[in-house]
Structure 1
């Protein structure tokens, strides 16, 4: 397994602006870090649950239909290229909408967030299952990816104002670098 590509993919998808991270950032600014942490806990638990569901479904599918892995790798690669394009053209200077943040809203947001749903459906079959299908390795991968997601959420909480200002100041450079790293991860699935 190419750990570098997996880690780059996980870090880029979880740390770059998306619906969950933007709500966390907005909550820090409008309601404080304590309220943002409440939202973060809900988002993290749902993120991990989505990874578990994905791993279970993919494990069942790969044992029943081994060729599905190739399809999932193709979908995963194209999704990464799509995300790279979205990050490249993203405009993070637009203001965010203030939303009520709670544990439940953080939890539910993950199931409605296409970035998270597509990520959780593609990361395990694209990076882990081509090399490992044992329950222990898949479990370790789910836990590791969940922790990376939690670290990303915490980063947005702790450095909310600083991170937002920095992103806005160097928006284009950050987006280009993140897009290039993500495209690299998409290519590395096949090498």
Structure 2
């Protein structure tokens, strides 16, 4: 197994903006980093388990049964669209009050499970970085663990960015504009994943 290229791949996959990153940022903006950590851990653990499960062969199912992949895509896209609407439509008064929809650990894990992009990423990890290993399950378990550590670190960066947003956008109007921009980014990332 080639570990350095895999670590770079895991870092890029985890740090680049996507639905989970945007929801982590928004959640930490409203509830703080400490209250966002459970969602981060849950989402990262679910994604790492998907890498492990894909290595055990379940990822192949998505290749052979496109209908399952399609259903997962639609469920994930509709759910993310609903979450982006919740974020976009929160009134100005609710930005400072803790009434914003929370990104729960359960929601973070479910997002990974219904997101076919996570499964395809896991399948790419298994096929690209551990295809000819003499100990494939050991190497896949190591990759899943490394992916877990890297993704936690990257999502913590997004959570800290969410906390910094509160210092940068001090007025309610500025905060709502930022919140709506994040909602649009979430909506676009959901539909872009569907149309890709």
1:122 to 96, 99, 124: 124
TM-score with structure 2 length normalisation?
0.57
How do 1:122-161 and structure 2 match up within 5 A?
122-161=124-163
**Cα contact 1:29–1:161 (8 A) shared by 2:** yes
**Alignment RMSD (CA, Å):** 2.9
Larger CA Rg, structure 1 vs 2: 2
In structure 1, stretches of 5+ residues that fail to align are: 62-70, 72-95, 169-191
Q: Specify whether residues 58 and 124 from structure 1 end up closer, same or farther in structure 2 by C-alpha distance, changes over 3 A only.
A: farther
Shift of 1:113: 2.7
**Pairs aligned (count):** 132
Matched, 1:25 2:25: yes
Shift of 1:102: 1.1
- SS of the residue aligned with 2:103? coil
- Counterpart CA distance in 2 for 1:5 and 1:55 is 18
- Counterpart CA distance in 2 for 1:38 and 1:5 is 29
In structure 2, stretches of 5+ residues that fail to align are: 64-86, 89-99, 169-177, 179-196
- SS of the residue aligned with 2:117? helix
- In structure 2, the residue matched to 1:100 is 102
**Cα contact 1:132–1:138 (8 A) shared by 2:** no
Q: Specify whether residues 41 and 2 from structure 1 end up closer, same or farther in structure 2 by C-alpha distance, changes over 3 A only.
A: closer
